[in-house]
Structure 1
């Protein structure tokens, strides 16, 4: 066995040093290590690392972001879904309606024209011209606008109008045209029309709930606007322009006709049908006239009238008439007041207008010279009567009006109601004389149809 073991070792060189598996020296330390071989392996590994480092360049921010998104995209998707689930309801239910409502709140809706025409005791023909201004293009569905009086504590619309479908882009005209509407609250309408008559300007309030489309989006809004418009200002400028006596009177009692001016200082045109007016001298009713088919656009409106002048009442109360005309006569004028008597459309009384006009008074001041000229023209129309002869026959050598103007300021007395036995007793002493008697004679001749 020992011999065999020795034989097995025979293939080793005697001078060859033993080495460890790690390439170190042998146990006896003799000989050299396999240093050249290890140096070659180390150099190859270093070159490989250097080449690998040179091949992998640093990533840019964009590349890092893309790599990050590829790795975590599903997290972002979940986050986006959660964000949209929270944001979209807020957008549609809060943000968009708030933007739309802010635009509606900023609207001024000025009224530039329109009309209110009475067509029956319970109906009006209404037109309104206004405008909307929107920075966003939008479509508005047809909606109902409620007209009301803001001065009433409780919201009480007196009429409703329908706003047609409208496309708004920038400043857009809104035209509500010729809508026949029913009066929903006559008391409120009467109150508003009273302000229209009495004031130089009046407020008109509107309220509505439009449905607005912004492309595919739609939302609801609320309009509540009060605008100021010009109004009648008590018909300031009302004047009887021309006056003609009809002698003899017509079969229906008509003995007076002419033209008067009914000015409309307002923004809205008004139509009130046939308007009957009481003619007053002070508190004495001396006549009744009718203006037909009254339609008042903006500006002065000259309208024909006819009716009856109560000559009996006028001459039987001449003293009362002269007393009431004191201030006007001192300025060379005659003052005639008018109050409402009736307002009729198609044979039906318009109560809300009568309630207003029957309790209002308008005044016409006419020059004495103009009135005398009109009356003289009435007497001589179609006849051969000489004006100088008629004046001499009626007034003699003294003009009645001059006598009145010359003595009125000296003494003013209150007249009493006249009696049939003594008509001249009603004339103040300061104006009694040939002129008063002549005026009495004129009245008698007019009654007998001489002129």
Structure 2
């Protein structure tokens, strides 16, 4: 055999030997090494766990709890049973509010008293017309919230505007707004929340439904005395009691001024208000109107009234005057019956009618 063949045979043998040689298995993981690492650095893992727990607790307390508290305040229902506006003066009033707050009672908490504002929700700009202090409350299911405080009128224009809206509208939306703090039971931290409630309340609706009964005409009154007296029944659909004072109205028949009517010491309460009224009327203009073809058949004339003065203790209450003078109130008056009962004369229509 030649040297070349011997070398090739040796290479084949070596290659086959390398292929057939068994491969050693991979080394098994060292479990003891992990346990040893854990035993050695257990304090580091504990610190990480504590940090995670603290972070979660902080997130719950400082993020979750305030959101829950705000949601509970949002869900609370504010209802007003009565409002008294008394001791009325040009620059101040005494405001008394009887109200209730209803919650689901699921969270026990104390709510701090706070200074809030009231404004017309539907008026652009939402300028506050009154500032009011609210007492401390809590998270009970049902609680009474009664307020009585003397309030200085800070923004006369805004308060006058409120009275105009209140006198003219059947309903209006008034928002109560303020910032306060809530302290849930079991926690030492107080959380800031916003108190905002919009209340749909009834207004005076221009005293719609007012009637006049028992009218008496005096054709020859003494100097300085009224020539007309009657009793008016003025409805107040709202839950407001208003200490208005002496209210004077200018009266019109078909845009003709027929004189002034006065309601003395008017204290308007919810429901029916039967009050004495006196007037100095242009009797000739009234007689001509009731004899006209337009009114002679029924004798009933729609008399328009517009506030011209509101005086209490010798001072003008501009906010009430603005409310009563911004719009006309129309009151149907049976002038024909009043003339018949007072003078014994029946008004008939002209023959040409």
Q: Same fold (TM over 0.5)?
A: yes
Q: Find the residue that maps to 1:154 and give its secondary structure.
A: coil
Q: Find the residue that maps to 2:139 and give its secondary structure.
A: strand
| In structure 1, C-alpha distance between the alignment counterparts of 2:335 and 2:129, rounded to whole Å | 45
Query: 240, 257, 272: which is aligned to 2:244?
Result: 272
The corresponding residue for 2:114 is 143
Deviations 1:180-216 (A, max 9, x none): 2122222222222222122211111111112112123
The corresponding residue for 2:20 is none
CA offset at residue 248 of structure 1? 4.7
Alignment partner of 1:402 is 2:352: no
In structure 2, stretches of 5+ residues that fail to align are: 1-37
Q: Find the residue that maps to 2:238 and give its secondary structure.
A: coil
> RMSD of aligned C-alpha atoms?
2.8
Alignment partner of 1:173 is 2:173: no
Alignment partner of 1:208 is 2:178: yes
CA offset at residue 73 of structure 1? 7.6
Query: 285, 300, 319: which is aligned to 1:333?
Result: 300
Larger helix percent: 1
CA offset at residue 317 of structure 1? 7.8
Change (3 A) 1:327 1:106: farther
The corresponding residue for 2:3 is none
The corresponding residue for 2:92 is 123
| In structure 2, C-alpha distance between the alignment counterparts of 1:316 and 1:103, rounded to whole Å | 63
Question: 1:338·1:361 contact (CA, 8 Å) conserved in 2?
Answer: yes
The corresponding residue for 1:230 is 202
Per mean C-alpha deviation after superposition, the further-off stretch among 344-353 and 110-119 is: 110-119
The corresponding residue for 1:156 is 127
In structure 1, stretches of 5+ residues that fail to align are: 1-68, 377-390, 409-451
Question: 2:163·2:322 contact (CA, 8 Å) conserved in 1?
Answer: no
Q: Find the residue that maps to 1:308 and give its secondary structure.
A: strand
| In structure 2, C-alpha distance between the alignment counterparts of 1:241 and 1:182, rounded to whole Å | 39
Q: Find the residue that maps to 1:81 and give its secondary structure.
A: helix
CA offset at residue 96 of structure 1? 0.9
TM-score by length of 2: 0.78
Question: 1:238·1:362 contact (CA, 8 Å) conserved in 2?
Answer: no
| In structure 1, C-alpha distance between the alignment counterparts of 2:285 and 2:277, rounded to whole Å | 25
Deviations 1:5-29 (A, max 9, x none): xxxxxxxxxxxxxxxxxxxxxxxxx
| In structure 2, C-alpha distance between the alignment counterparts of 1:153 and 1:359, rounded to whole Å | 19
Alignment partner of 1:93 is 2:65: no
Alignment partner of 1:263 is 2:249: no
Question: 1:118·1:350 contact (CA, 8 Å) conserved in 2?
Answer: no
Question: 2:217·2:339 contact (CA, 8 Å) conserved in 1?
Answer: no
Query: 215, 226, 232: which is aligned to 1:254?
Result: 226
CA offset at residue 249 of structure 1? 2.4
After superposition, residues 284-299 of structure 1 pair within 5 angstroms as 284-299=256-271
Question: 1:143·1:163 contact (CA, 8 Å) conserved in 2?
Answer: yes
Change (3 A) 1:225 1:247: same
CA offset at residue 113 of structure 1? 2.1
Give 1 or 2 for the bigger CA radius of gyration. 1
Q: Find the residue that maps to 1:152 and give its secondary structure.
A: coil
| In structure 2, C-alpha distance between the alignment counterparts of 1:317 and 1:299, rounded to whole Å | 31
After superposition, residues 372-451 of structure 1 pair within 5 angstroms as 372-376=339-343, 391=344, 399=346, 401-404=347-350, 407-408=352-353
TM-score by length of 1: 0.62
